[in-house]
């Protein structure tokens, strides 16, 4: 039975009356004639009027094989014929065990334990709480503080916001948050020297100073390896993750690698930490884990951490944390199918080929007069727009240059979402090469047209 879909004007009215969208200034959104998606096919999305758009942001960084993928659909339906949900609290279900094993096999060596949740923010909360309790369980409760990095984004629950550092999103919740110690993320473009090496050196020096004085009080450091996403696609210099991990080991501080955005192929490696050969103590996954189908996230950790929670119930070492839908069988089944398809279709090789193609195309973007910087890690790409390339000064905020470019791209048939003045391009990993070219044609045209027009005002 297909449910009747009301016409667009009715949907919009009901959106206005009842639906509050996330991360969305509702007034602007409703005034700007929002897109209402009805279906998807491959790397295209179709709105309720039947207009087609390229999915230039993987439906917010999630999608892997495209939409309406027969194999993934079948995995959900098949599981649906057995059971939709069965709890993991003091019990187990088949797909959750299979997926835990599969992730442990895929993960960097040593990350053998998998704790499921429903979103990236929860996966981060779990890593933070596990790290905190770990030190208590082994008798070092004074190690209770966390180091985070400028521009960090780890999700929107209060714990995840506590380890976040994006002023626009996080500052107003300050009084609700636990305090952290912050070090700069190495951001070459905005570093006074403009030099990646110098940015990395400053960052490591700040870390070293903190560790030297306070390592006895520090539980863990959390980082988005290789590429900071929400901060505006900030690429760390090669080798930085290895240096960071090395310092933390030396001072016995745990490393939480938040790979909710970068994990599972997005950067051209299965996990971003692999570029530097780093094995963290915790690795969080979300977003692409189910191919963009269902909300499943995971926190991977080592035997060292797990064993500190091992003991009789009365010893009080148990990790008292969980969610109603933890390890949901439908989600785990589709995640398994997603990982199987990735392997069958040699998706990592495809991502590397496609990234090289994108990189070649991006050199023309760099020549555009109002493009300040182009940052890429595989199929995670950010194009920073500036008013003045020499001074790196942005367009005035009220111009909303990012929004305008994205609105023009939408008219031309591509959907994405800006991060301030950074235009995000994150196509589904399985995007065919011809589709990538078509998407980049639109992006280029939208950026060129809108920046020329706004600069000429
Ligand atoms: C998106 C994201 C999260 C939050 O994931 P949700 O599923 O939206 O809660 C956490 N960390 C990083 C690096 C992300 O990009």
Q: What are the tens digits of pLDDT across the range 47-58? A: 999 999 999 999
331 is in an annotated binding site: no
For residue 115, what are the β-bridge partners?
Answer: 299
> Annotation-wise, does 417 bind a ligand?
yes
| More confident of the two residues 16 and 1 | 16
Q: Which atom of ligand 1 is nearest to the CA of 121?
A: 9
List beta partners, residue 255: 221
CA 401 – ligand 1 centroid, Å: 25
Instruction: Decide: 380 in ligand 1 pocket, CB within 6 A.
Output: no
In 323-432, which ranges are continuous DSSP H helix? 329-344, 347-366, 401-411
Bigger pLDDT: 198 vs 3: 198
Distance (angstroms) between ligand 1 centre and the Cα of 124 equals: 8
Tens digit of pLDDT for each residue in 116-125? Answer: 999 999 999 9
165 marked as part of a ligand binding site:
no
Instruction: Give 120 Cα–ligand 1 centroid separation in angstroms.
Output: 4
* Pocket lining: 229 vs ligand 1, CB cutoff 6 Å: yes
Q: How far is the CA of 225 from the centre of ligand 1 (A)?
A: 13
- For the whole model, what pTM was predicted? 0.98
Among 220, 286, 284, smallest CA distance to 257 is for 284
pLDDT in tens, 385-431: 999 999 999 999 999 999 999 999 999 999 999 999 999 999 999 99
Task: Compute the half-sphere exposure of residue 148: CA atoms within 13 Å on the CB side of its CA.
Answer: 22
Q: State the pLDDT confidence band at 1, using cuts at 50, 70 and 90.
A: low
Domains 35-65+347-455 and 73-344 share a fold: no
Supply the pLDDT for residue 3: 76
Q: What gap in Å lies between CA 187 and CA 166, rounded to an integer? A: 14
Q: How far is the CA of 292 from the centre of ligand 1 (A)?
A: 13
pLDDT in tens, 205-231: 999 999 999 999 999 999 999 999 999
Domain covering 73-344 in this structure, CATH number: 3.40.640.10
Coil, helix or strand at residue 105: helix
Tens of pLDDT, residue by residue over 228-247, are 999 999 999 999 999 999 99
* C-alpha 189: how far from chain center: 21
Is a pLDDT exceeding 70 seen at residue 313?
Answer: yes
d(CA 41, CA 43): 6
Region 84-100: mean pLDDT is: 98
Percent of the chain at pLDDT above 90? 97
Each domain of the chain, given as residue ranges in start order, spans: 35-65+347-455, 73-344
The reply, when asked if residue 321 is annotated as ligand binding, is no
Which CATH class name applies to 35-65+347-455? alpha beta
Nearest-atom index, ligand 1, CA of 160: 10
Measured in residues, the chain has a length of 457
90 is in an annotated binding site: no
| Percent over 70 (pLDDT), the chain | 100
218-223 vs 422-425, strand pairing mode: unpaired
């Amino acid at each position: 039975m297909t449910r009747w879909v009301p016409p667009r004007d009715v949907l919009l009215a009901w959106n206005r009356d009842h639906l509050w969208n996330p991360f969305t200034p509702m007034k602007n959104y409703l005034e700007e004639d929002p897109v209402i998606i009805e279906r998807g096919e491959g790397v295209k999305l179709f709105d309720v009027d039947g207009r087609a758009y390229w999915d230039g942001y993987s439906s917010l960084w999630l999608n892997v094989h495209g939409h309406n993928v027969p194999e993934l659909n079948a995995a959900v339906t098949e599981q649906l014929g057995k059971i939709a949900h069965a709890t993991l609290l003091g019990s187990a279900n088949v797909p959750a065990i299979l997926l835990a094993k599969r992730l442990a096999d895929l993960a960097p060596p040593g990350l053998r334990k998998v704790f499921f949740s429903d979103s990236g923010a929860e996966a981060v909360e779990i890593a933070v709480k596990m790290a905190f309790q770990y030190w208590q369980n082994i008798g070092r409760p004074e190690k209770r503080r966390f180091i985070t990095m400028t521009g960090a984004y780890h999700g929107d629950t209060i714990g995840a916001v506590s380890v976040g550092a994006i002023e626009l999103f996080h500052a107003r919740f300050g009084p609700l948050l636990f305090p952290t110690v912050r070090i700069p993320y190495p951001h070459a473009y905005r570093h006074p020297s403009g030099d990646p090496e110098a940015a990395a050196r400053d960052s490591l020096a700040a870390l070293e100073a903190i560790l030297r004085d306070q390592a006895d009080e520090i539980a863990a450091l959390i980082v988005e390896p290789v590429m900071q996403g929400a901060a505006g696609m900030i690429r760390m210099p090669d080798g930085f993750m290895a240096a960071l991990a090395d310092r933390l080991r030396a001072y016995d501080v745990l490393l939480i690698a938040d790979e909710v955005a970068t994990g599972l192929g997005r950067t051209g490696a299965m996990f971003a930490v692999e570029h530097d050969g780093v094995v963290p103590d915790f690795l969080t996954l979300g977003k692409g884990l189910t191919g963009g189908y269902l909300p499943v996230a995971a926190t991977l950790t080592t035997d060292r951490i797990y064993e500190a929670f091992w003991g009789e119930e009365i010893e009080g070492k148990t990790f008292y944390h969980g969610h109603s839908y933890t390890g949901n069988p439908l989600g785990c089944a589709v995640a398994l199918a997603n990982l199987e398809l990735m392997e069958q279709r040699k998706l990592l090789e495809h991502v590397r080929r496609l990234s090289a193609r994108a990189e070649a195309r991006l050199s023309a973007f760099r020549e555009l007069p109002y493009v300040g910087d182009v940052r890429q890690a595989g199929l995670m790409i950010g194009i920073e727009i500036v008013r003045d390339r020499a001074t790196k000064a942005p367009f005035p905020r009220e111009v909303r240059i990012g929004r305008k470019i994205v609105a023009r791209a939408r008219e031309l048939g591509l959907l994405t979402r800006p991060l301030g003045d950074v235009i995000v391009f994150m196509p589904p990993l399985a995007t065919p090469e011809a589709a990538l070219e078509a998407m980049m044609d639109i992006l280029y045209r939208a950026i060129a047209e809108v920046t020329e027009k706004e600069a000429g005002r």
